[in-house]
Amino acid sequence: MLRKIFIANRGEIAVRIIRACAEMGIRSVAIYSEADRFALHIKKADESYCIGSEPMACYLNIHALVDLALATGCDAVHPGYGFLSENAKFARACKERGLIFIGPNADVIHRMGDKTEARNAMKAAGIPVTPGSDGNLQSVEEALEFAAQIGYPVMLKATSGGGGRGIRRCDNADELKRNYVRVISEATKAFGSANVFLEKCIVNPKHIEVQILADHHGNVIHLYERDCSIQRRNQKLIEIAPSPQLDEAQRQYIGGLAVIAAKSVGYTNAGTVEFLLDDSGRFYFMEMNTRVQVEHTITETITGVDIVEEQIRVAAGLPLRFKQEEIVRRGYAIQFRINAEDPKNNFLPSFGRISRYYAPGGPGVRTDTAIYTGYEIPPFYDSMVAKVIVSALTWEDVIKRGERTLRDMGLFGIKTTIPYYLKILKHPQFRTARFNTGFVEQNPSLINYSDKPRPEVLASVIAAALASHTGL
């Protein structure tokens, strides 16, 4: 088993990994930029080290991170999600220096990170993919010609894209011409590659992804699916496991496809195979994420499998502890990404000091976060400040629990997406599980909510303020 793990990340996911290490008796090493000097993850780790003053660049300095991991006596590196988690150069650098990279090998990361290569690999494995270009586009003229063949609308995508960036829908030739330069520019800045490709746009599909685990002994299993259809501009907001929109036959089919996909590329560790489901019931491969996902929590909730612990065990060379027939799901789980954003102001980021924070609790509630009362949210990173996960045995009950939990949560000093999510939970389409990726855009009235503090939350704030002054 591993002795000491270097966590090449920050915030909530770093805290999550530190907790797994603690339960496994493994020492953890955290890193932080000057902007993160008061972050929770550095308080929880066994050791922590400042890696520089540049908020972003220091988390992306491959050689500096590898050197520090070795200098602190670590035998493995966990990249979390984001930053260098899907960077083949980082995985390769770790291996070359004798460190275990907790994830798939560099060749698989590179192959699945290149979306045209991934598409071709899936086609070869018999996995259905959307019609599109087999390789990177060389010019806007080639893009226009190909779009005319498959028909509009089309999706123009960065080959190395991810996280909703480097992607544009084009409904006609004029939009394709305009977006071609934009996507190339965005892809170059965000991913260091100007390569783009084209594929047919599946209009308002359901976004369904499957969690897989694979070890170095040839064992591959799936942990059922997640529904990520509630999203805005290709950024996920609410995730659900399992999907309330699939029947059992569809569930078994897509789980089987994900296992085939993983085996076909020699995948190891945790990963996610993402699909689009159209109105006719056809699934299409979209991409494969070669890391732990933000939404891994809801899969853990319905299956009881600790995905991060399994990642560490697999990296240490141990076999999976579960066979496919032993994976049993129970009920439903919903994850709400609590973002420091103002939905009423076009979801503008709302960074700043958290004046008061009250975590929700009760049966079937989990909160993954790195915030606390008095914490100053730095403006340099993603706007997500917490993940609230609720579970219950039925779809109706998990919605009710979600409403109660979001109302229980108190987060003051910044604007958040909490009231927006409460509106979504009230919407008939959501309550009856009839939604797709167009849900947010189709329902602009969701932002018509009250900004006034709820009486029960306001009362708790006043009580806390009085107690702090009176010494109660």
Task: Specify whether the CB–CB gap between 287 and 327 falls below 8 A.
Answer: no
Find all residues with CB under 8 Å of 227, minimum gap 6, and list them: 206, 207, 208, 239, 240, 241, 242, 243, 244, 245, 246
Backbone angles phi, psi at 192, to 5 degrees: 70, 20
The number of CA neighbours under 13 Å toward the Cβ of 352 is 13
Q: What does the block give as tokens for 4? A: 């000491």
For 389, residues 6+ apart whose C-beta sits below 8 A from its C-beta are 297, 298, 301, 333, 334, 335, 336, 365, 366, 367, 368
- Could you tell me which residues are beta bridge partners of residue 198? 156
Contacts of 139 (CB under 8 A, 6+ apart): none
Provide the pairing of β-strand 365-369 with 384-392: antiparallel
Q: Apex CA 231: angle with CA 229 and CA 234, to 5°? A: 105
Please choose, from the candidates 223, 228, 256, 224, the residue with its C-alpha nearest in 3D space to the C-alpha of residue 337: 228
- Cα→Cα distances 200→42, 57, 278, Å: 45, 36, 12
Known catalytic membership, residue 291: yes
Say which of 10, 119, 168, 291 is annotated catalytic: 291
Q: Are strands 76-78 and 4-7 parallel, antiparallel or unpaired?
A: parallel
Q: What are the catalytic residues?
A: 291
